[in-house]
Structure 1
Amino acid sequence: MSSADRSARPRLVYDDDCGFCTWWAEWAVLNGEFEPCGFSELTDAERDRLPDGWEECVHLFADGTVYSCGAATEEVLARTGTVPPTILGFLNGFADYEGLREDLYRKVADRRDLLGKIVSAEPPAKSR
C-alpha cells in the first residue's frame, strides 16, 4: 500500500456519463469524505487496479483496497454513517448476504437511466 493510499481521502470512481451515478457521487461527497473521480478522469494505473468489466459499476479506492459494485456502495454507506457498521457486520455474517447485496446493486444499476430522470430534478441532499 502506498503512503498516498493511506493518507488520501477515499477515491470514489463512478460513470460520469450517467446522471444517476453522478448524483450518487455528489451525494457521497456531500455526506462523507470522498474524492470523486469520473471514469473519464481515471489514470492508467487506477484503471489497472479495477476488476474486469469495471465500467459496469461504482468503485472505491480506500486504505489500499479496491471495493467494487455492491461492496463499494456498502462501504460508502458505512463511511457516511448512513448504515451503522454494526448492521453491516451482522449482515456480512450471513453466507448469502454478499450475493444478495450484489444482486440488489445490479437491480438498481440496471435501472440507472430511469433513476437518473427521477433524481435529476433534485440535487443530492445531506443526510444528517
Structure 2
Amino acid sequence: MTRPRIVYDDDCGFCTWSAAFADRHGDFELVGFSDLGREELVRLPANYERCVHLLTDDAVYSCGEATEQILARLDPAAQEVFGALRGVPGYAGTREKAYRWAADRRAWWGKLVSRDSV
C-alpha cells in the first residue's frame, strides 16, 4: 500500500462526505466498511465500526487520531499545529473526547453537509 487508506462508515452520510472531502483534497484510497477485505480487517481493531481509521504502510490510526492524521496530510500548517498539540499534557484524551462528541452527532452533521457539495 502506498497511498493511505481511509476506512469509514459508508452507511453514514457525514462519514461519506468527510471521506470524499479528504479524497478530493488529498491523496487517499477510500474503503467503506461494506467493502472491507481481509487485508484491512486483520489490521483494524475488533470494534472498528465505532469510528474512522487511517491505514498506512506501517501504522493504523483510529478515531480522533485518524482524523488528526488525515487533516495533517491535507494541510502542512495543520501538521505543525498537531505536532505542537501532541506536546500538551492531556491533548490525546481531549482529542478523543472531541471526536466522540462529534461522532455521536453525525446525523446532525450529515444534515448540515447535505446542503453543501464536497
Partner SS, residue 84 of structure 1: helix
TM-score, length basis structure 1: 0.87
Confirm whether residue 68 of structure 1 aligns to residue 62 of structure 2: yes
Q: Is the 8 A contact 1:60 1:68 kept in 2?
A: yes
Residue correspondence of structure 1 range 1-128 to structure 2 within 5 A: 5=1, 8-81=2-75, 83-124=77-118
Distance 1:82-1:25 versus aligned 2 partners, 3 A rule: farther
Q: Is the 8 A contact 1:77 1:83 kept in 2?
A: no
Misfit runs of 4+, over 6 Å: none
Pairwise CA RMSD: 1.2
Distance 1:39-1:72 versus aligned 2 partners, 3 A rule: same
Report the Cα distance in structure 1 between the residues aligned to 2:25 and 2:77, rounded to whole angstroms.
Answer: 12
Distance 1:84-1:60 versus aligned 2 partners, 3 A rule: same
One-letter amino acid matched to 2:42:
D
One-letter amino acid matched to 1:21:
C
Query: How far does residue 10 in structure 1 lie from its aligned partner after superposition?
Result: 0.5
Query: How far does residue 63 in structure 1 lie from its aligned partner after superposition?
Result: 3.0
Partner SS, residue 6 of structure 2: strand
Report the Cα distance in structure 1 between the residues aligned to 2:72 and 2:19, rounded to whole angstroms.
Answer: 15
Consecutive unaligned residues of structure 1, counting only runs of 5 or more, are none
Q: Is the 8 A contact 2:71 2:79 kept in 1?
A: no
Consecutive unaligned residues of structure 2, counting only runs of 5 or more, are none
Query: How far does residue 44 in structure 1 lie from its aligned partner after superposition?
Result: 2.1
* Count of residues in Structure 1 that have an aligned counterpart in Structure 2: 118
